Amino acid sequence: MISQDILRVIDANRQRYVDELIGFLQIPSVSTCSQHASDVRKAADWVFNQLRTLGLEAQICQTARHPIVYGCSAHIENRPTVLIYGHYDVQPPDPLEEWLSPPFVPAIRDGCICARGATDDKGQFLTYLKAMEAILAVEKTLPVNVKVLVEGEEEIGSPSMDDYIRGHRRELAADVVVLSDGSQFAPGIPAITYALRGLSYLHIDLQGPSFDLHSGYHGGLIANPIQVLVEILAKLKDPCGRVAIPGFYDDVEPLQQWERDEMSSLAFDEDHLKAYLGVEHLTGEPGYSSMERKSARPTLDVNGIWGGYCGEGAKTIIPARAGAKVSMRLVPRQQSERINRLFCDFVGSLTPPGVRLEITDLCGCDPVLVSRHDAGVRAAAKAIETGFGRAPVFVREGGSIPIVSLFKESLGMESILLLGWGSPDDGAHSPNERFSLDDFHCGIRSIAALLYELQAP
């Protein structure tokens, strides 16, 4: 059991933790933009210094793109080992003009810290470091052996992790892995996640004529790549919203009745969601509830589309090229590589002569289901009750965390605790991302309690 002394230290240092988070959030560690590579490096150094200050043995490992930071406590025999994971990279902040305050100048508004990375994942990850700091301040040692793995490529699909994990099995060996990179079910209702969706994310390029043409000289003679593109995109889903790629649903595990019942017993507030999103109507695959659609069923979305003349006024052209980015969220038993193949075959079959098709794989990962009935999960539920004053519910999350299926498949980890302190309204990946300071604080309390619960789970 955690001592009241430690919880008191956490309460007493609440403001300093926020000040440190502000420093972390000031670093624009946008992993997908090459011009931010040195900022990503700065964030890695920031994490490294935190680990060193905690007295962990820490190292920075270079990869083809952004470094992995690893640290571990001095090993104590007969104590369980907990592997903590987080990511210090963030998504691009665009569209900048929609931010009420600049994305890398953290501002406190309505009890929240507002900045890119506040909830995803810098704020949530920092709760682990501050929990350990508070424990060490009171007890001098941690109740469990701790290993910390923090990467700067999560938001680009963790391309270096496969190799890193293969090469560092011994360093990463642990009894349980824990991370907070999701959210609560709703504000004030904490959750433990037992499934994540996978991802296939592809980029389509269509090349027509060698250069933009006068649409009068040449109109009527050749295929227009934008027209071809939108016809292809329109055929990827049927009018009801089911994905129309042949074979797409073949491996999808049907939802069991107990799980559907459990999901419908959670009070998912559709009106609140509609108001938050600014839409009058929610829509999706027929035959499934909103909860099921957003977490337990696969989807396809066009993320971006471009081509032709988008400047002011009229310019009469047939564009030379057009493109789109398409992502598919996958559910257990679907495999990202197979889905990529099915997508390429289908889009290829829809592409008429007269345009050249090129498809590139942007990133992807497999979906994952984790155990919700082991000692680690029970420990996490108790710790969350200590931290938040309320027992968690169990949910599937619709997002993806590529490393989680590697923990399970490549490292053979059985006990994987997917926690989340943020709120679904935190605006991860959106303008004005934020993280409630109360959630930050309760998260620190929960992790401190969890390390004690895991001591003898």
Residues in contact with ligand BES by CB under 6 A are 120-121, 154-155, 157, 181-182, 199, 363, 365, 397, 399-402
Nearer to ligand BES, 143 or 190 (CB): 190
Angle (CA) 336 341 346, round 5°: 125
> Which of Mn ion, ligand BES, none is residue 400 near (CB under 5 to 8 Å by kind)?
ligand BES
Tally the residues of the chain. Answer: 457
**Is the dihedral angle over the CA atoms 161, 119, 192, 378 positive or is it negative?**
positive
Nearer to ligand BES, 318 or 365 (CB): 365
DSSP letter string, 12-71: HTHHHHHHHHHHHHTS--BTT-GGGHHHHHHHHHHHHHHHHHTT-EEEEE--SSS-EEEE
With CA atoms as reference, report the closest residue to 299 among 336, 280, 327, 318.
Answer: 327
Closest distance of CB 120 from ligand BES, Å: 5
Beta bridge partners of 66: none
Q: Which residues bind Mn ion (CB under 5 A)?
A: 120-121, 181
| In the block, residue with structure tokens 């998260």 | 443
Nearer to ligand BES, 147 or 294 (CB): 294
Nearer to ligand BES, 209 or 427 (CB): 427
Closest distance of CB 91 from Mn ion, Å: 6
Q: Measured at CB, which residue is nearest to ligand BES?
A: 399
CA atoms in the 13 A half-sphere facing the CB of 165: 23
Closest distance of CB 150 from ligand BES, Å: 13
Nearer to ligand BES, 3 or 303 (CB): 303
> Which of Mn ion, ligand BES, none is residue 175 near (CB under 5 to 8 Å by kind)?
none
Nearer to ligand BES, 9 or 179 (CB): 179
Nearer to Mn ion, 30 or 449 (CB): 30
> Which of Mn ion, ligand BES, none is residue 182 near (CB under 5 to 8 Å by kind)?
ligand BES
Question: In a 10 Å sphere around its CB, with 0-12 CB exposed, 13-18 middle and 19+ buried, how is residue 44 labelled?
Answer: buried
Closest distance of CB 160 from ligand BES, Å: 13
> Which of Mn ion, ligand BES, none is residue 199 near (CB under 5 to 8 Å by kind)?
ligand BES
Closest distance of CB 196 from ligand BES, Å: 6
d(CA 23, CA 46): 9
DSSP letter string, 279-295: -S----STT--HHHHHH
Closest distance of CB 50 from ligand BES, Å: 20
DSSP letter string, 157-179: T-TTHHHHHHHTHHHH--SEEEE
Closest distance of CB 15 from ligand BES, Å: 26
> Which of ligand BES, Mn ion, none is residue 365 near (CB under 5 to 8 Å by kind)?
ligand BES
Query: What is the per-residue burial (b if ≥16 Cβ within 10 Å, else e) of 179-198?
Result: bbbbbbbbbebbbbbbbbbb
> Which of ligand BES, Mn ion, none is residue 157 near (CB under 5 to 8 Å by kind)?
ligand BES
